Amino acid sequence: MKTSQVATVVADPASVDDAIASRFSCRAFLRDREVPRATIAEILEVAARAPSGTNTQPWKVYVLQGAARDGLVDKVCAAHDAIYADPALAAEYREEYDYYPTKWISPYIDRRRENGWSLYGLLGIAKGEKDKMHAQHQRNFRFFDAPVGLMFTMDRILGRGSLMDYGMFLQNIMVAARARGLHTCPQAAWNGFAKIILPHIGAGPDEMVVCGMSLGHADLQAPVNGFHTPREPAAGFTHWLG
């Protein structure tokens, strides 16, 4: 008999907090440290307890390892290089939903710029060094060397609210991964390459790419993994009423 969700007591809240607080976008993984299939299955099983409107559970997950992973990496990296050589080709690769705003305003543009230049500064990439920027951006499409790549899709017929549901599911995956000593990097960078991704993973014609994610053991020696973005304190975004 399963323990009632109502009656379950979280005996170690500090560990839950640590799993959340220690999550970051890992950008360097140990390729030779595999993640057992059983561990991935455990993570997805617990993540599926995420809430969703009227219990629609909009998520579909494709796990890429080995040749399947490497094949997608090769295809998308080739397309990414082709766009860099001929920017006009970018018109062939479009996201199916707007992840970022069409017009940036403060404070969001300020945070975006701080994030980008802080990362490039850590990596020794100066403004205008386009070849280095391209190479670093392409690290996304190599899953930052993680042995496991995850692709998330949902049916196009679903509404915008399902993307909110999906975000809670993705957060569950990342926190559950931390509980097992693993790290992740959620990646919207893949979204524009849906025309390559969907047939490669065998997704149905009515599915759209929501995002990708890298999963594995962090490379503790990689300088890039020392990059952690700041957060606005709760007092800065909370309004107390009553």
Residues 6+ away with beta carbon under 8 Å from 166: 58, 59, 152, 154, 210
Q: What is the mean pLDDT of the chain?
A: 96
Residue 234 dihedral angles phi and psi, to the nearest 5°: -55, -35
Distance between the two ends of the chain, CA-based, in angstroms? Answer: 43
Angle between helices 13-21 and 161-179 (to 10 degrees): 110
* pLDDT at residue 131 in the model: 97
pLDDT digit string, tens, across residues 95-131: 999 999 999 999 999 999 999 999 999 999 999 999 9
The amino acid occupying position 177 is A
Residues 6+ away with beta carbon under 8 Å from 123: 132, 136, 223, 224
* pLDDT at residue 1 in the model: 47
pLDDT digit string, tens, across residues 140-173: 999 999 999 999 999 999 999 999 999 999 999 9
Local confidence band at 5 (pLDDT 50, 70, 90 cut-offs): confident
Contact predicate 229/128, CB 8 Å: no
pLDDT digit string, tens, across residues 71-89: 999 999 999 999 999 999 9
* pLDDT at residue 4 in the model: 81
The amino acid occupying position 185 is C
Rounded-to-integer distance, Cα 167 and Cα 41, Å: 19
Note the pTM of the prediction, 2 decimals: 0.95
Best CA proximity match to 212, nearest among 95, 78, 39 = 95
DSSP 8-state secondary structure symbol assigned to residue 64: E
Q: If residue 155 lies in a helix (H) or strand (E), which one and from where to where?
A: strand 148-155
Which domains does the chain possess? 23-91+140-227 (3.40.109.10)
Q: What is the CA radius of gyration of the chain?
A: 19
| DSSP β-ladder status, 183-187 and 148-155 | unpaired
